[in-house]
Homo-oligomer: A and B are copies of this chain.
Amino acid sequence: MERSATGPAAAPSGNRKVFRTELTPIDFLRRSAFIYPDKTAVVHGDRRYSYVELEKRVRRLAAGLKSAGLKSGDRVAFLAPNIPALLEAHYAVPAADGVLVAINTRLSAKEIAYIVKHCGARQLFVDRALGPLLEATNLSHISVTWIDDSGSVDDPYEAFLSAAPEDPLMTGPRDEEDPISMNYTSGTTGRPKGVVYTHRGAYLNALSEVLEMEMTARSVYLWTLPMFHCNGWCFTWAVTAVAGTHVCLREVDAGHIWQLIETEGVTHYNGAPTVQIMLVNHPQANRLDRTVTTMIAGAPPSPTLLEQLQTLNIKPIHTYGLTETYGPTSSCAWHEDWDGCTPEEQARILARQGQSYVTADLMRVVNEAGEDVPRDAETMGEVVMRGNIVMAGYFEQPDATAEAFRDGWFHSGDLGVWHPDGYVELRDRAKDIIISGGENISTIEVEQAVSRHPAVLECAVVAVPDDEWGERPKAFVTLKEGVEVSEREIIDFCREEIAHFKCPDAIKFGELPKTSTGKVQKFVLREQEWSHHEKRIN
């Protein structure tokens, strides 16, 4: 049996309190590698890493980062799918006292370049298949390490590990409120903002995820959800906390997922409704002989989807959160007296966003004065959160942080009602954000891209409901006088500017509705598109 070379922390120096250890998810790995050294930590195709092997790789990566000049608080960027290297980074970067920036691989080259520059990373790790995304980028100031994701000695990432010593894991951050990661989110201003997570928040959210999903050392977690979304909703850390098994996945392919559920004995996976819909409707979908638990967030699941999942013996847990809350922060906790409801009623109940996790403060719904709205399931207000699983702030954007944190609560920009039973249900969005397949899209960002086309005079983008993706952007465009351009031309133009998933699927040409003072009335456009829907989000 191979032994962990890290194990218990050495006796601390100085006057640190015996009864206090700074909370950090790094300790989840330290412990699991010590207690379960031979247990399978990571599965990736034919590759298997035990917990002690994972820990060794993490220690080498951390040591390599430090050898390459990483200083305390420096950012390290990763651009990769759900592969072992990115999971390792979730421990190695903080263990080297750095801050992990896992970049959304669905963004455009320009967007990625913006994030890499904004976060100030001087080290970037890139999966080889994503190389084209860097071509448009000037990376002269940054050190790039390629990941072939082969696991073999000629993989540059593996060479990086081999060249580094196996230093012991650090004993933890100096302060549990130090940053552990930054996750960029589409802001309403059009430019992504860097949401700062702390060691403490990551630790406490991870424990709540374990409790919500009832994970144990017997759990096998399939990585259908991108690790670049809120650090995989903190499951990068949660699965390790219980010494479960991470099953990696380069891309979401429903047939492959059904196969892995079978061959790897998967017990848990997560995904937005779009992924879930793809799964349940796949020809390989079949009723499982054991219950698999799935967390659904990003948009409320439909009654049809809930029923389909349950028929397949997949237990859905509907949760809600934002990048600013470490991913999911609330869940629609089930009450036994709902067991007697009809399937339709149950689906309606379960589609609510519910109330906060045990490590979060209870959510509120407030009016513009910051006061609670009545719990009448009718009065709309903004959902606000506070407590240990709210971000520390937006990186180098004190004004945006202060605005989001006004009145001492984080303002989600999500509009909803408060039910008599204290549960929250979303109805609309104050922010100009579209959520499509679990990905945030800023309408302003899309408008700016469309408007850059020389034929466009002005433009407004709104979300429209979509069966597959939940919501999709639709552009309303007024052309300059005497100019002609097709819908296809504008869409293709956008695809050069911003991520493909952000580009409108449809363009409608014509005048835009305006107020007497000339302001575009986006709500008029939205109302037209959503007139047959009860809510204004999907």
The answer to whether B16 touches A408 (Cβ under 8 A) is: yes
**Chain B nearest CB, measured from A457 CB (Å):** 42
Q: Are A19 and B210 closer than 8 Å at their CB atoms?
A: no
Q: Tell me whether A352 is interfacial, beta carbon within 8 Å.
A: no
Task: Name A1-52 residues within 8 Å CB distance of B.
Answer: 1, 3-4, 7-9, 11-13, 16, 18-21, 23, 27-28, 30-31, 34-39
In the complex, whether A422 has a CB less than 8 A from a CB of chain B is yes
Which residues does chain B contribute within 8 Å of A211, judged by CB atoms? 207, 210-211, 242
Shortest CB distance A301–B (Å): 20
- The residues of B that contact A421 with a CB separation of less than 8 Å are 1, 37
In the assembled complex, A386 has its CB within 8 A of some CB on chain B: yes
Residues of the B chain whose Cβ atoms lie less than 8 Å from the Cβ of A390: 18-19
- Chain B residues with Cβ under 8 A from A229's Cβ? none
A428 within 8 A of B: no
**Is A487 in the interface zone, CB < 8 Å from B?**
no
Q: Are A39 and B335 in contact (CB under 8 A)?
A: yes
Give chain A's interface secondary structure class: loop
Surface stretch bound by B, among A63-71, A252-260, A355-363: A355-363
A21 and B361 contacting across the interface, CB-CB below 8 Å: yes
Chain B residues within an 8 Å CB radius of A18: 386, 390, 405, 408-410
Bound together, the chains give a CA A177 to CA B34 distance in angstroms of 28
Among the interface residues A39, A214, A216, A358, which one has the most CB atoms of the partner chain B within 10 A?
A358
| Contact for A9 among B31, B335, B361, B370, CB less than 8 A | B361
**Which of A323-360 touch B at CB < 8 Å?**
333-337, 354-356, 358
Asked whether A420 is an interface residue with its Cβ less than 8 Å from the other chain, the reply is yes
A30 to B356, CA, bound (A): 11
A186 interfacial contact with B, CB 8 Å: no
Residue of A31, A214, A333, A337 with most partner-chain B CB within 10 A:
A31
Cβ–Cβ contact A7 & B388, under 8 A: no
Taken together as a complex, chains A and B put the C-alpha atoms of A334 and B207 apart, in Å, by 20
A253 to B333: give the CA distance in the assembly, Å. Answer: 35
Q: Pick the residue among B13, B28, B388 that contacts A19 (CB under 8 A).
A: B388
> In chain A between 181 and 216, which residues have their CB closer than 8 angstroms to a CB of chain B?
198, 200-201, 207, 210-211, 214, 216
**Is A247 on the interface with B (CB-CB < 8 A)?**
no
User: Once the chains bind, are A198 and B3 in contact (CB under 8 Å)?
Assistant: no
Copies of this chain held together in the complex = 2
Closest to A410 in B: B18
CB of A41, distance to nearest CB on chain B (Å): 14
Residues 409-441 of A at the B interface (beta carbon under 8 Å): 409-410, 420-422
Contact present for A422 and B7 (CB under 8 Å)? yes
A358-B241 in contact (CB<8A): yes
Mask for A84-128, Cβ within 8 A of B = 1, else 0? 000000000000000000000000000000000000000000000
CB within 8 Å for A355 and B35 given contacts A3-B422, A421-B1: yes
A338 to chain B: closest CB distance in Å? 12
Which B residues lie within 8 Å of A23 (CB)? Answer: 388
Nearest chain-B residue to A204 (Cβ)?
A: B23
- CB neighbours (8 Å) of A28 from chain B are 358
Q: Which residue of B lies closest to A27 (CB)?
A: B361
Kindly provide the distance from the CB of A395 to the nearest chain B CB, expressed in whole angstroms: 14
Contact A387 B20 (CB under 8 A): yes
Q: How far is the CB of A529 from chain B (nearest CB, A)?
A: 34
Contact of A177 among B8, B20, B375, B407 (CB under 8 A): B20
A356 partner, pick from B31, B355, B388, B420, beta carbons under 8 A: B31
Q: CA A195 – CA B264 in complex, angstroms?
A: 47
Contact of A392 with B by CB under 8 A: yes
Shortest Cβ distance from A36 into chain B, in angstroms?
7
A residues 135-157 near B (Cβ < 8 Å) are none
Say yes or no: is A391 at the interface (Cβ < 8 Å to chain B).
yes
A364 interfacial by beta-carbon distance below 8 Å: yes
Chain B CB within 8 A of A217 CB = yes
B20 adjacent to A217 (CB under 8 Å): no
A358 to B370, CA, bound (A): 38
Interface centre among A198, A356, A362 (most CB of B within 10 A): A362
What are 9 A-B residue pairs whose CB atoms fall within 8 Å in the complex?
A3-B420, A8-B361, A8-B362, A8-B363, A11-B407, A11-B409, A28-B358, A31-B362, A38-B337
> Can you name 8 extra interface pairs (CB under 8 A) apart from A3-B420, A18-B405, A18-B409?
A7-B362, A7-B422, A18-B410, A19-B392, A20-B200, A34-B355, A35-B333, A214-B214
